[in-house]
C-alpha cells in the first residue's frame, strides 16, 4: 500500500518539499504523490531521480499521480 501525499492545489516548491519530507520517512511499499500541474510533476520527478529512487507517472482526469519506489 502506497502512502499518499496530496499536493493538489499547492504551488511549487511546496509539492517538492512535501515529497522530500515523506521520503525522509519512506515506507517500503512506496509513496504516491498527487499533483495537478505539470510543473510540479517535472520538479518532483527530477528531485526523486536525484535521490536515486524510481518514479512512474500516471495521468488522471484531475491531475497526476507520481508513484515513487526505492
Asked about 26 being catalytic, the answer comes back as no
Of 6, 10, 12, 26, the catalytic one is 12
SS3 44: helix
Query: Which residues in 10-23 are b (16+ Cβ under 10 Å) and which e?
Result: beeeebbebbeebb
Q: Which residues are catalytic?
A: 12
Amino acid at each position: 500500500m502506497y502512502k499518499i501525499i496530496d499536493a493538489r492545489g499547492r504551488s511549487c516548491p511546496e509539492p517538492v518539499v512535501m515529497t522530500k519530507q515523506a521520503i525522509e520517512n519512506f515506507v517500503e511499499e512506496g509513496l504516491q504523490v498527487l499533483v495537478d500541474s505539470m510543473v510540479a510533476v517535472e520538479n518532483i520527478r527530477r528531485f526523486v531521480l536525484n535521490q536515486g529512487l524510481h518514479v512512474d507517472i500516471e495521468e488522471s482526469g484531475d491531475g497526476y499521480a507520481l508513484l515513487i519506489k526505492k
